Structures are given as C-alpha cells and as structure tokens.
Chain A
Amino acid sequence: GQQLNQSPQSMFIQEGEDVSMNCTSSSIFNTWLWYKQDPGEGPVLLIALYKAGELTSNGRLTAQFGITRKDSFLNISASIPSDVGIYFCAGQPTYGGSQGNLIFGKGTKLSVKP
C-alpha cells in the first residue's frame, strides 16, 4: 500500500530552538494534515493543508504543502517543553483510496535534550 516517509524519526530539542520535520510520498496527495500525539491520547490536529504551495501557520507552527503535492514540512519555532510528543503527518492520496482513507507517517518523536 501507499506509505509516507516521515523524517527524522526522533530528535531532541532545547528550549528556544527551531525544529523542522518533513514527510514525502511516492504518489500525489490531495490533502496534508499534521497531528501531535501525547502519551495515552489520540492525535490532535495541528494544521490542515489543501492546496499545493499552501503555507499555513498556527501560532509557532508553520506547515507547507509541497508544490509537487508529494511532500509537506512542519516547522516549530522557539520550541518550549510542552512541544515534546510525537508528530504525525497524514495525507489523503489522489488515487488508490477513498476520501476517508488517510495515510499516516510513522511519526517524529520530539524529546527534551538531556
């Protein structure tokens, strides 16, 4: 089936640092979504992107829908301790799936630098 490659798998943050993560796909996507998941909770929607080239911000978070429609990135500026968690990208493919079938990446785990 279709897969999303999400990188990095994990990273350590120091308060105040900027963070970047991205997702790539071998196929074209209609929609890109970014979620954050805390332990024991369901994923929480951060940003939704619907058009190629779209750049959207939500507070310190900025995400872009790649021009090729095969990638997306998420940036977090001036990180704070509560940014720790697992971030998932999810996409809705143009072909090969229903409108309700989201494909998720494996996640990027953000932890605090020891």
Chain B
Amino acid sequence: GAGVSQTPSNKVTEKGKYVELRCDPISGHTALYWYRQSLGQGPEFLIYFQGTGAADDSGLPNDRFFAVRPEGSVSTLKIQRTERGDSAVYLCASSSQSGTEAFFGQGTRLTVV
C-alpha cells in the first residue's frame, strides 16, 4: 500500500494475555520504528530497526516487550503477560533511511482490561 499499515486498529485483551501488533511499512523503507503514545502525551520511542536488525531497543520498557522484523519488511511487536499500564496507542513508522522523515501509521489502540 501507499502508507504504513497497522493491524489491528483496535485490540482489547485481558490482563496477563499475550498480544501481537503488526506493522507493514512503506514499500522499500529500510528503517522501521515503534512508538507508544499515552493519552495526552507525545509518542515515546520503543525500538528502531534498520533492515532486519534492531539498531536501538533502548525504549522497550521491560522484557515483556519484544519486536521482530525477520525479512526486513513487516514487523511484529509482541507483548507478553499484558498489564493494564500497557494500554496505549502503539504507533509504527518507517523511513527510507534512519534519520530522515518518518511516516506514521494510524496506530493500534491497545486496551488491557
């Protein structure tokens, strides 16, 4: 597609469950980013991929969070043992190379009940 696509757009899960959030970047973009946005806040960096490898995962809050990008295109953000505090909008972005304009998807709104 023309833009960054994220699925699902909304996800409600029970506390303690495992969830996967998917991101399809713009075709040809080598850099991919995950951000988390809480209500009333700006996006906060989680992890950044250059190709298949995680170039910077310093924003992942703890070891319950993990992300992969096995073929250098689609990425999956995985959250284990979800907690209510994980509720937020998870945004994915991509760019043609790191440090240039990043284009965002519409986000996945995760609600942990």
Residue positions of A touching B, CB distance < 8 A: 4, 6, 30-31, 33, 35, 40-45, 48, 88, 90, 92, 97-107
Contacts and interface: CB of A to CB of B under 8 A. Distances in A.
A104 B101 contact: no
Given A43-B43, A104-B43, A30 B99 contact: yes
Given A104-B43, A105-B42, A107-B42, A45 B59 contact: no
B101 A48 contact: yes
Interface string B3-24: 0101000000000000000000
A72 to B, nearest CB: 14
B105 to A, nearest CB: 5
Given A44-B104, A106-B42, A100 B56 contact: yes
B88 to A, nearest CB: 13
Contact of B98 (A4, A43, A98): A98
Interface of B: 4, 6, 31, 33, 35, 40-45, 48-50, 55-56, 58-59, 91, 93, 98-107
B91 A42 contact: yes
A10 B23 CA distance: 31
B103 A45 contact: yes
Given A31-B99, A42-B91, A45-B102, A100 B107 contact: no
A33 to B, nearest CB: 7
A35 B91 CA distance: 14
A104 B44 contact: yes
11 contacts: A6-B42, A30-B99, A33-B102, A97-B58, A99-B98, A100-B98, A101-B45, A102-B33, A102-B45, A102-B102, A104-B35
Contacts of A40: 106
